Structure 1
Amino acid sequence: MQPIDFDGEVNLFHFILLRCVGKGAFGKVSLHLFHCAHKSNRINRLQVRVVQHKQTRELYALKYINKPKCVKMKAVANIIQERRLLEEIDHPFVVNMRYAFQDDENCFFVLDLMLGGDLRFHLERLGSLPEETVRYYVAEISSALSFLHERKIIHRDLKPDNILLDERGHAHITDFNIAVHYSDRRLLQGVAGSMAYMAPEILAKRGYTYTIDWWSLGVCAYELIFGRRPFRGKTNSDLTHSISKDSLRFPEDAESRCSRAGIQALKGFLERDPTKRLGCKQNGPAESFEDLKRHPWFSNIDWVTLDTKEQTAPFIPDNKKANFDASHELEELLLEDNPLRAKQRKERDISSLSAEMRQMEEQFTPYDFKKMHRRSYYPQTQIVSTVTATSSTGPSSSRPVTPMTIGNDGPHEGYAYNHKSEHDIPMTERISGVEMAELSEKAL
């Protein structure tokens, strides 16, 4: 057995592949991730494992995709786009990428590991959440959205399923597989995301920028507080009409469940005119976030210590229980017909590969947050950090102490996918990674 070169380029030999991780929630998290991977495998061939870095002993989520299947699905540009976008992001309330690499068979993302479950799970278990708890999550997610928007990034699929809690109860945005860069000079037109959370300007195809994420956050907040979404419909057409036309109404017992300031904040987020929406001032994301922080609903939020995670979250997940549906555990034990293992790369002439395989070889480049600077590949942003990415120690670290699940609503353009569920109706007309790359290269 050859010694591992931790000073060299990161690879799968640097990690221990785990099925179960200790006791309690750790003991079941990998099975949960296998369940998510199983659902995703039917959709976009993405799989997830829990891994431990052999040198630092840190736990991570390993998301990977088979390269030949990626080519077959015409998803190469999308995977590269997600890889490049994640390199740009490092924030306390985002599931951040820590490493990226490939071998002859797969492309790998190593991501922050969350153990607290997603808000969909907690919502379905509890029926609704206290206003105080939801306000705290909204504040944390608002901080993350502001960070993304200042870097010209739109998430486009914000929903309870894609908000994960760490073991201390802090909220993190995950699933960037339909996130895109935007330009103020040319509005995006693609219909993408989960329909129930889409802003009306997307459905109207009027063009949009970062304002759509604040609408989605409003839908999430409303749903978490009242246990149902503000706009509903049995069909896509009905739901489109409701989002576009129906008056915003609140349950009869709304005043007993949400303060007047909270109701006003929800109305602000769910304003159909994006120029009047809470978090969407015309002078840009930074000023918009400052305006949001001054809203009466957030008067009790200490924004100075929020990002450092010094505050105690109002809800701390029980780490002695599985914070997910564990009903499919036995099935997941039998999933792997081709177990993942570290393999030495073969010497090969890249020029002999297909154009798509060569593109992955050349553009899905290695990343190591311990050694490399965060940077943007997009000309209109050109944000390059002056220090290496945040370390994993200290209270202000953006590295959460804990799983990431992979979103189950499917990827974007290039992935043909029809998925039906009452709470999540995705749209199939999407802007392709190639189109976005071309948009970026024009530096609009």
Structure 2
Amino acid sequence: MGALCCRPQPIDFDGEVNLFHFILSRCVGKGAFGKVRVVEHKQTHKLYALKYINKSKCVKMKAVANVIQERRLLEEIDHPFIVNLRYAFQDDENCFFVLDLMLGGDLRFHLERLGALGEDIVRFYLAQLSSALAFLHENHIMHRDIKPDNILLDERGNAHLTDFNIAVHFGERRLTGVAGSMAYMAPEILNKRGYSSQIDWWSLGVCAYELIFGRRPFRGRSNSDLTYSISKDPLKWPEDADKKCSRAGMQILKGLLERDTTKRYGCKPHGEGFQELKRHPWFKSIDWDTLESKEQTPPFIPDAKKANFDASHELEELLLEDNPLKAKARKANKDNMSAEMRQMEEQFTSYDFKKMQRRSYYPHNQHLVSTATVTSSGVTSSRPGTPANDLRVDGITIHGGNGHSMEISGNDLEAVRGEKVLDQNYS
């Protein structure tokens, strides 16, 4: 009799997705109020990244709106060079994002290990990320936190943009809230004169410069010094710049780091900026026709025999976690919830990419019903995606070190470290 009562309950894969559907594996990342670990879907045996956010910490850090916004934005995104959402659900303690798994690590990890990356490698990443940015901007989405930490490689070496925690929709009205990682912020954000999607191209330029030369183009010992440098300092090149980057490459960097947004590369309206970038001589070696189908061999392939992330996350999970993650049946009593908890309960809705069509919550994008077509056997994407045999990932931030993402107050912002700040007035 005892053996019968302890028999595990059968899993209802036809019902709403939940944590019981997954086998939990190693922890590979940690953020301000959540973690990332590898999981395997018990029915399909496919590997994903599970990003889970503690609700209580989320409320305490006043980030409820950001989590819900990220959840909604990810539902409408489906692109080969973005870490795409596959499932979303919640239990009494956590909100869960199940995302593409990237086992190649983030570019911060590789940058700190190698010191710098070759021009050919950076050109390939820029082509892929430019494609992703053009897609986002076409759908009225700006990322606002592009940096090496938020660029993840799959096991074959393709680059993917992740972490949409402070991404927003944009329209004709310019934004004024300060948000992002300060070292990668465009001057128009810091000058508080209003900004739009052009800021993403600036941030991409800072990333490219840092990846090629191993240092950022604008630096400062304090917030005010860094603000002045980003806003006023001329773009300077390292003494050995000509050994690391061609003249055409420097033209691209200079064009992306142009303070005048009417002249900045990528910024011309209606997608013309992206087309102009594609025509630049620096990208002559890129076959744009096959780029999104991932038919090209990336110039850098991560070492599959090594862990391309900070292994201390797994050790910390084993030794220090007082409430380890495990699947639990729901017990939530909505009558006793705070307003913030109720908001998450009602607005962080479930999503299953095999059963549901992607949609947009943004009025300007109501034409977008789906970027994937649901079939009887699953989903057939309308865009070329990551091949099915690829292991794919996610990340809050899969590394330790100088570029980690955090949600912090403006007064505590350590500008030189490039940490993330949520929408707020910056002092």
Pick closer, same or farther for the CA change 1:392–1:52 going to 2, 3 Å: farther
Q: Tell me if 1:409 matches 2:405.
A: yes
User: TM-score of the superposition, structure 1-length normalised?
Assistant: 0.86
1:104 aligns with 2:98: no
Distance 1:230 1:420 in 2: 17
Identify the residue that residue 353 of structure 2 maps to in structure 1.
369
Counterpart secondary structure, 1:223: helix
Q: Name 2:195's counterpart in structure 1.
A: 208
Residue of structure 1 equivalent to 2:4: none
- Is the aligned partner of 1:355 residue 2:339? yes
Q: Tell me if structure 1 keeps the 8 A contact 2:209–2:215.
A: yes
Distance 2:144 2:258 in 1: 17
Match of 1:254 in 2: 241
Q: Please point out which of 402, 414, 418 is paired with 2:412.
A: 418
1:15 aligns with 2:22: yes
Alignment correspondent of 1:346: 331
User: Which residue identity is paired with 1:397?
Assistant: G
Aligned partner of 2:65 in structure 1 is 77
Query: Of residues 202, 213, 222 in structure 2, which corresponds to 1:226?
Result: 213
Matched-pair contact (CA < 8 Å) for 1:310–1:395: no
Counterpart in the other structure of 2:255: 268
Map 1:12-411 → 2, pairs under 5 A: 12-19=19-26, 30=27, 33=28, 36-37=29-30, 40=31, 43=32, 45-184=33-172, 186-281=173-268, 283-284=269-270, 286-326=271-311, 330-346=315-331, 348=333, 350-382=334-366, 383-385=368-370, 387-388=372-373, 391=379, 396-398=384-386, 401-407=391-397, 408-411=404-407
* 1:216 match: secondary structure: helix
Amino acid aligned to 2:287:
D
Is the contact made by 2:222 and 2:416 (CA closer than 8 Å) also made in structure 1?
Answer: no
The unaligned stretches of length 5 or more in structure 1 are 20-29, 432-444
Output one character per residue of 1:390-417: Cα deviation in whole Å (capped at 9) or x when no partner: 95999932465223221332248xx789
Q: Using a 3 Å threshold, how does the CA distance of structure 1 residues 77 and 278 change in structure 2: closer, same or farther?
A: same
CA distance in 1, matches of 2:222, 2:188: 19
Q: Is the 8 A contact 1:392 1:398 kept in 2?
A: no
What stretches of structure 2 of length at least 5 have no aligned partner?
1-7, 398-403
The question of whether the paired residues in 1 share the 8 Å contact of 2:182 and 2:419 is answered with yes
Root-mean-square deviation over aligned CA pairs: 2.3
Output one character per residue of 1:334-369: Cα deviation in whole Å (capped at 9) or x when no partner: 132112111222374x35533222222211110001
Give the CA deviation at 1:68: 3.0
Distance 1:346 1:417, change over 3 A: farther
Aligned residues: 406
Report the 3-state secondary structure (helix = DSSP H, G, I; strand = E; otherwise coil) of the residue aligned with 1:289.
helix
Runs of 4+ in 1 over 6 A off after TM superposition: 392-395
Indicate conservation of the 8 Å contact 1:90/1:398, yes or no.
Answer: no
Q: TM-score, normalised by structure 2?
A: 0.89
Three-state SS of the structure 1 residue aligned to 2:120 is helix
1:72 Cα deviation from its structure 2 partner: 3.0
Name the CA distance, whole Å, in 1 between partners of 2:48 and 2:410. Answer: 29
The superposition leaves residues 217-276 of structure 1 with CA deviations (integer Å, 9 ceiling, x where unpaired) of 001111111111111111111111111111111122222211111111111101100111
Amino acid at match of 2:49: A
Cα gap change, 1:196/1:69 in structure 2, threshold over 3 Å: closer, same or farther?
closer
- The code of the aligned residue for 1:4 comes to I
- 2:400 corresponds in structure 1 to none
SS of residue matched to 1:333: helix
Residue 52 of structure 1: SS of its match in structure 2?
strand
Fraction of identical pairs, as percent: 70
Change (3 A) 1:303 1:112: same
- CA–CA separation in structure 1 for the residues paired with 2:158 and 2:108: 15
CA contact 1:17–1:51 (8 Å) conserved in 2 = yes
Note the alpha carbon deviations across 1:125-154, whole angstroms, 9 max, x for none: 111111000000000000111111111111
User: Is 2:424 aligned against 1:430?
Assistant: yes
| Residue identity matched to 2:159 | A
Equivalent-residue separation in structure 1 for 2:60 and 2:303 (angstroms): 42
Task: Decide whether aligned partners of structure 1 residues 420 and 141 sit closer, same or farther in structure 2, where only a CA change above 3 A counts.
Answer: same
